[in-house]
């Protein structure tokens, strides 16, 4: 399902930090089936893959994302050792006004892979910005709409600032991270699972 050749040949930009954008990361023949099989998500926040019910077809995409071929390609593109590094996959489907604030990813993450699933995107808001600093959301080198098949990969550095302007509503994505080790993975999973349980409890009361 992944367009491996497009990912392999995508150019890595070095400024302000190493990143690349692949607008056709899913093969054309798979776009429709992948889009229609994205899991239904009704509450905000990052939801661990283990807490999502998804169709077998979507499971095939996830398996390829976490597979050895993509791991090797990313390791070579970003000149980083990813051998035996654990992965963590989370889903997003609903955005809140507070989401998208400027941030860098935690130091327990080595590489971040973002894959988007929106069939169309007409809003000027909610487009990922690769930022030059941690203060100014308008000081960016790239702005990427979250359209179906668009993949963003970046190396986690002290200055990997990114974010997007606020919006509320549907914004479909997967985030996969290669982590420093299993201790980091267990920690991230614990907090994501706890957050998901709290949101589910809150939503069930309203």
The stretches of 44-103 forming alpha helices (DSSP H) are 56-65, 68-77
Q: What is the mean pLDDT of residues 74-81?
A: 98
Range 122-137 average pLDDT = 97
Higher pLDDT, 181 or 196: 181
Q: How far is CA 37 from CA 29, 33, 122, in A?
A: 14, 6, 22
Mean pLDDT of 82-97: 95
The first and second tokens of residue 151, run together, are 């993949």
The pLDDT of residue 193: 56
User: Has residue 125 got a pLDDT over 50?
Assistant: yes
Sheet holding 151-155, edge to edge: 19-22, 151-155, 109-116, 169-179, 87-95, 47-48
Q: List the CATH number of the domain containing 148.
A: 2.60.120.620
pTM: 0.90
As for how many domains the chain has, the answer is: 1
Boundaries of domain holding 122: 4-204
In this prediction, residue 188 carries a pLDDT of 62
Answer whether residue 26 shows pLDDT above 70. Answer: yes
């Amino acid at each position: 399902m992944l367009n491996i050749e497009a990912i392999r040949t995508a150019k890595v930009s070095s400024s302000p930090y190493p990143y690349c954008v692949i607008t056709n990361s899913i093969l054309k023949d798979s776009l429709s089936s992948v889009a229609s099989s994205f899991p239904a998500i009704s509450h905000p926040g990052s939801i661990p893959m283990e807490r999502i019910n998804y169709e077998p077809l979507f499971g095939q995409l996830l398996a390829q994302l976490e597979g050895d071929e993509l791991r090797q390609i990313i390791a070579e593109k970003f000149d980083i050792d990813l051998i035996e590094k654990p992965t963590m996959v989370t889903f997003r489907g609903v955005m809140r006004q507070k989401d998208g604030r400027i941030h860098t990813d935690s130091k327990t993450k080595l590489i971040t892979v973002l894959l988007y699933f929106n069939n169309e995107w007409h809003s000027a808001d909610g487009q990922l910005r690769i930022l030059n600093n941690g203060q100014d959301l308008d000081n960016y080198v790239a702005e990427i709409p979250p359209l179906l098949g668009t993949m963003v990969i970046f190396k986690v550095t002290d200055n990997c600032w990114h974010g997007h302007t606020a919006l509320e509503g549907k914004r479909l994505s997967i985030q996969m991270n290669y982590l420093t080790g299993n201790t980091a993975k267990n920690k991230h999973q614990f907090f994501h699972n706890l957050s998901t349980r709290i949101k589910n409890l809150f939503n069930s009361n309203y």
